[in-house]
Structure 1
Amino acid sequence: MKIIKIISTIIIVGLFFNSCMMGPNFQKPEVSSPEAYLGDYQATDSLNLRWWELFNDPLLDTMVYHALEYNMDVQMAAKRIEQARAYHGMTKADLWPSLNIEAGAGTGNYLGGGSKSGSSSNQFYVTPALSWEIDFWGKYRRLSESAQADLMASEFGMRSMQISLISDVINYYFTLLDYKERLAISKNTLELRANSLDIIQLRFEKGIIPELDLNQAQAQWAIALASIPVYERLVAQTEYTLSVLLGENPKRYLETNNIKEQSLEINIPADLPSHLLERRPDIAQAEAEFRSQNAQIGAAVAARFPSFSLTGLFGVASNDLASLTTGGMAWSAGASLLGPLFQFGKNKRRVEMERKKAEEMLINYEYTVIQAFRDVEDALISISTLKKQFDAQTIYFEATNNASQLSVLRYDKGVTSYLEVLDSQRSAFEAELQLSETKQNLLNAYVALYKSLGGGWLNPMEEQQ
């Protein structure tokens, strides 16, 4: 009973002294957010968590879900979360006593201190050993707080990576559709120019037109021919990039949607600037990293003060192995203090270093916030201007395409030179390529907007609902 009272006393004393914590407590940084975005932004719909489904493309949906499950970067991020969770468990264990087992046997006549006895004696013992460094200054609690914040940061980092992955998959998918469309345009243009070249060749052979017209037709045919391998290469490289994002070996995607069929009737999600601080996981990650470093200050401050340790033994000991279990109980209890005395300012500098690291993390948090607002504004102005550009590009393509057809009729009737035909066909070809590219840029601007708003991620409050 006496030993139980002693152990209980040790634990109660330890818990009593575990009440102090050094260093500053964490305070959530305050940042100002604009009342409204500068860009053309009207609240028309709520932020769709699966916003990629708005594009109504089953293949795209499949790619996104496949990437979220099999992408290598996401899998590595998941392992980093498991590492952080394990480390947090390790730091929590330092708050409590450790219990070990000791056992030994020995013989001899040496008594220590340079003296010996006239006869030898045996020693046998088996005892549990209890040791506990009392967290009087809160060092281990601060380290545990830091580890917990690191765990949160790794979880937010994975969510941020998932949003980036979703955006990358959709970006490359629309880019692939654009390159495939431009490849089809080039092949169609090549076929038209080949037919035109055959006609020009016959006219030249009959002496109707000069050789200059033939050479110009050959040049335009070659331009269309040269554009085909360019887009074949871009299509293949984009498909390979998509494959890697999906966690697969490079492969080709023969069956895809057509970019012409992609609707541009996409609602801009409703969200206030102040909500961005809750929606963006990279902002939450930066805050968690600041929290972690803030706790490191307390751990560094605590290292400047003495540490208190309690030890206790309770077991059996005997000079005769046969009587080891019958010779009665053996016990001991003690306490120790160890503190820095003079280390040339090392611990002071450690505290200063951790404070500066925390200031760096605070600046990083503030920078992440303003960068997030900039991302939204960039996406909004891109959507606004690209819409106008796409409308103008559509008019330009229709005009040049019609002009190309009229110039051929005028040339066949001898009203104009072949130079006019070449110029109008070249303009129509370039206009159709640019129209496809502009639509791809507009679609990806919507992707950038949803990404900048933190789309596809549930914040902790939403997860509880």
Structure 2
Amino acid sequence: MRRVYSCFTRDLRRHALFCRERPPRKGARLQTESRPASFAGRAIFRFGAFAAAPVAASLGGCAVGPDFAAPAAPFEAGYVRRLSTGGQGEAGRVGGAQQLQMGRDVPGEWWRLFHSKQISALIDEAVENHPNIAAAEAALRQARETLEADAASFLPSATATDSVTRQQLSPAQYGSSSNSNSGFKTLYTLYNSNVAVSFTPDVFGKTARTVEGDAASVDYQRYQLEAAYLALTANVVSTAIADASYAEQIKVTQGLVADYRAQLDILEKRFELGAVSLADVVSERALLAQAEASLPPLQKARAQTRNQLMAYLGRFPNSDKGEAIELEKLHLPATLPLSLPSKLVRQRPDILAAESQLHQASANVGVATANMLPQLTLSATGGSLALTPTQLFSPHTMAYNFGASLSNQAFDGGGLFHKREAKVAAFEQATAQYQGAVLTAFQNVADALQAIKHDAATLRAQTAAESAAAESFRIAQIQYRAGSTTYPTVINAEQSLLTARLNRVKAQAARFSDTVALLQALGGGWWNRNDETPASRAKPTDLVATSPIAAAIRAQAGKTVDAQ
């Protein structure tokens, strides 16, 4: 018994760790208490330590199947061959060089690094209104409710029955063929009131492994909530930056269109005076038409981007109030955090979700193994049987029975064996999927680092190209007025200037977008905030909840009040 007790209490401690909610962190929006969700935790809270020990000892047994251990961080994994944490190149118009700080933690509200109140306001609205967050919280609560429901299997169940039966007995049941009265009643009313108690000790850990799998499912839904939060916030910032980029490109194009139109007016007047040829006028008209033709695609792209932004904010397209950011006023973070490769696997929600699925698959192997072993059931029934209601519960009408049964499927044609093997294969599948998630995470970080490095160089080159194109256009105009060059030279310089300005705007926006991509690839700092609300928490198991009929009455009463 000592061995059985020590083994089971060890399992209880393990399951208490699996099922405990993550406590809130510093700066959390919602401060909640940490409360154990496992049977062990509830036993200690409800019955006290001295009452919980005998209950645990009575359950007995150890959990069969593999004991899960979280995968270790990949050995010698890194982002690039040689990582330089120095300046990533001058950012020109966007405020200087960026540096990588290896080991620096990602802030929970990473979007505040851009110093934009408008971005912060958009994210607050998106988190408040987008249905993906509400759906993820509902899924998390569902997993927690399932955990609570399955953890109740550690305790006995009791069923109360009250019945009244009018029955006619045949004398043949007692070996008599006579129709005469044999001294006992063959027609009578029987009143019955009893309570049946049933308990299945978790001898081989089927319930323990089921609860362990439920706890892993809770973890999975918790990380899915963080993944939904991270994806939504990153999409809001990226879409706002894309909107600002399109707005700037439209502004640049409209400015050049105005310049082209003014130049065309001058040429037409000079043509009337005979100072320029018709070919020069036609060339300028073609250039103006090309510039004007480039506006509708940009306006279309921005309109669709605005529609996407409204969807992220939980609004309909006709609710667009015109909130926007300006690239020129957006702050590019001078320093960027870069998590150690060994910590990335504990920061990415998708990796942690894959680990939770691996944990659940491991627990399912234990459940499948326990299904192959005998199952012990203890039962007891006590109550009263009487011929009249007034005789119920009198000493001579009391009846009870106790029993124990041990059942096992002796032959099933290999069905349970293959079901267990299917769970083993599912565990191997989850292992491969976890490894794939880790590889993808490192690839995301590496891609973002390369993008930041080369985008800086691209912006420097595009800024220089814009300056050179503007100077070339100015010189071409002077030479044309002096008669030392032809007008096609001016046209080519104008086209180069338009292209250079648009490319500079795109490169400028790319630096912001790739900064967002890096912060998202590092996990978004969710561990430095608490994204849960009361909507994701399981309902408390109070005294009313332990009685199904009382709980149903309370739930129906609450539904009626809400409807009113």
Task: Give the TM-score normalised by structure 2.
Answer: 0.76
Task: Kindly indicate whether residue 172 of structure 2 is the aligned counterpart of residue 128 of structure 1.
Answer: no
Compared with structure 1, are the counterparts of its residues 112 and 331 closer, same or farther at alpha carbon in structure 2 (3 Å cutoff)? farther
Compared with structure 1, are the counterparts of its residues 106 and 163 closer, same or farther at alpha carbon in structure 2 (3 Å cutoff)? same
Counterpart in 2 of 1:6? none
Task: Kindly indicate whether residue 98 of structure 2 is the aligned counterpart of residue 40 of structure 1.
Answer: no
Counterpart in 2 of 1:435? 504
Residue 18 of structure 1 and its aligned partner are, at CA, apart by 3.2
d(CA) in 2 for partners of 1:234, 1:404? 29
Contact 2:198 2:377 in 1 (8 A): yes
SS in structure 2 of the partner of residue 248 of structure 1: coil
Task: Kindly indicate whether residue 457 of structure 2 is the aligned counterpart of residue 388 of structure 1.
Answer: yes
d(CA) in 1 for partners of 2:243, 2:271? 41
d(CA) in 2 for partners of 1:260, 1:267? 19
Counterpart in 2 of 1:20? 62
d(CA) in 2 for partners of 1:246, 1:362? 36
Counterpart code for 2:334: I
d(CA) in 2 for partners of 1:289, 1:244? 30
Counterpart in 2 of 1:237? 304
Counterpart in 1 of 2:372? 304
Compared with structure 1, are the counterparts of its residues 178 and 113 closer, same or farther at alpha carbon in structure 2 (3 Å cutoff)? farther
Contact 2:61 2:205 in 1 (8 A): yes
Contact 2:143 2:218 in 1 (8 A): yes
Compared with structure 1, are the counterparts of its residues 456 and 314 closer, same or farther at alpha carbon in structure 2 (3 Å cutoff)? same
Aligned length: 452
Residue 307 of structure 1 and its aligned partner are, at CA, apart by 1.5
Residue 161 of structure 1 and its aligned partner are, at CA, apart by 1.5
Residue 397 of structure 1 and its aligned partner are, at CA, apart by 0.5
Contact 1:31 1:366 in 2 (8 A): no
SS in structure 2 of the partner of residue 23 of structure 1: coil
SS in structure 2 of the partner of residue 430 of structure 1: helix
d(CA) in 2 for partners of 1:333, 1:112? 30
Task: Kindly indicate whether residue 351 of structure 2 is the aligned counterpart of residue 292 of structure 1.
Answer: no
Task: Kindly indicate whether residue 153 of structure 2 is the aligned counterpart of residue 82 of structure 1.
Answer: no
Contact 1:312 1:331 in 2 (8 A): yes
Task: Kindly indicate whether residue 321 of structure 2 is the aligned counterpart of residue 277 of structure 1.
Answer: no
What is the CA RMSD across the aligned residues, in angstroms? 2.3
Counterpart in 2 of 1:5? none
d(CA) in 2 for partners of 1:237, 1:55? 24
Counterpart in 2 of 1:110? 169
Compared with structure 1, are the counterparts of its residues 89 and 213 closer, same or farther at alpha carbon in structure 2 (3 Å cutoff)? same
Greater Cα shift, 140-149 or 232-241 = 232-241
Counterpart in 2 of 1:342? 411
Counterpart in 1 of 2:540? none
d(CA) in 2 for partners of 1:440, 1:111? 93
Counterpart in 2 of 1:98? 157
d(CA) in 1 for partners of 2:224, 2:337? 24
Compared with structure 1, are the counterparts of its residues 62 and 111 closer, same or farther at alpha carbon in structure 2 (3 Å cutoff)? farther
d(CA) in 1 for partners of 2:300, 2:473? 29
SS in structure 1 of the partner of residue 253 of structure 2: helix
Counterpart code for 2:411: F
Q: Which runs of 5+ in 2 are unaligned?
A: 1-52, 86-99, 533-564
Residue 398 of structure 1 and its aligned partner are, at CA, apart by 0.5
d(CA) in 2 for partners of 1:92, 1:448? 41
- Aligned match of 1:256 in 324, 334, 337? 324
d(CA) in 1 for partners of 2:360, 2:163? 43
d(CA) in 2 for partners of 1:244, 1:100? 51
Residue 32 of structure 1 and its aligned partner are, at CA, apart by 1.7
Cα deviation, 1:189-215, whole Å, max 9, x if unaligned, reads: 110011111112222233332222122
Compared with structure 1, are the counterparts of its residues 133 and 265 closer, same or farther at alpha carbon in structure 2 (3 Å cutoff)? closer
Pairwise mapping of residues 146-185 of structure 1 onto structure 2 (< 5 A)?
Answer: 146-185=213-252
Counterpart in 2 of 1:406? 475
SS in structure 2 of the partner of residue 131 of structure 1: strand
Residue 257 of structure 1 and its aligned partner are, at CA, apart by 3.0
Residue 110 of structure 1 and its aligned partner are, at CA, apart by 2.5
SS in structure 1 of the partner of residue 377 of structure 2: strand
Contact 1:404 1:428 in 2 (8 A): yes
- Aligned match of 1:66 in 108, 116, 125? 125
Task: Kindly indicate whether residue 91 of structure 2 is the aligned counterpart of residue 49 of structure 1.
Answer: no
Task: Kindly indicate whether residue 291 of structure 2 is the aligned counterpart of residue 224 of structure 1.
Answer: yes
Counterpart code for 2:341: P
Cα deviation, 1:85-143, whole Å, max 9, x if unaligned, reads: 11111111122211111122223333699558753233211011111222221111111
d(CA) in 2 for partners of 1:259, 1:13? 65
Cα deviation, 1:233-265, whole Å, max 9, x if unaligned, reads: 122111111111111112435353321232335
Residue 183 of structure 1 and its aligned partner are, at CA, apart by 0.6
Compared with structure 1, are the counterparts of its residues 33 and 384 closer, same or farther at alpha carbon in structure 2 (3 Å cutoff)? farther
d(CA) in 2 for partners of 1:412, 1:398? 22
Contact 2:190 2:388 in 1 (8 A): yes
Counterpart in 1 of 2:486? 417
Compared with structure 1, are the counterparts of its residues 116 and 443 closer, same or farther at alpha carbon in structure 2 (3 Å cutoff)? farther
d(CA) in 1 for partners of 2:223, 2:293? 47
SS in structure 1 of the partner of residue 284 of structure 2: helix
Counterpart in 1 of 2:46? none
Counterpart code for 2:114: F
Pairwise mapping of residues 204-215 of structure 1 onto structure 2 (< 5 A)?
Answer: 204-215=271-282
SS in structure 2 of the partner of residue 20 of structure 1: coil
Pairwise mapping of residues 184-203 of structure 1 onto structure 2 (< 5 A)?
Answer: 184-203=251-270
SS in structure 2 of the partner of residue 362 of structure 1: helix
Contact 1:18 1:138 in 2 (8 A): no
Residue identity (%) = 26
Compared with structure 1, are the counterparts of its residues 12 and 49 closer, same or farther at alpha carbon in structure 2 (3 Å cutoff)? closer
Residue 355 of structure 1 and its aligned partner are, at CA, apart by 0.6
d(CA) in 1 for partners of 2:482, 2:320? 47
Residue 329 of structure 1 and its aligned partner are, at CA, apart by 2.3
Q: Which runs of 5+ in 1 are unaligned?
A: 1-10
Counterpart code for 1:43: Q
Greater Cα shift, 34-43 or 363-372 = 34-43
Residue 341 of structure 1 and its aligned partner are, at CA, apart by 1.9
- Aligned match of 2:72 in 22, 25, 30? 30
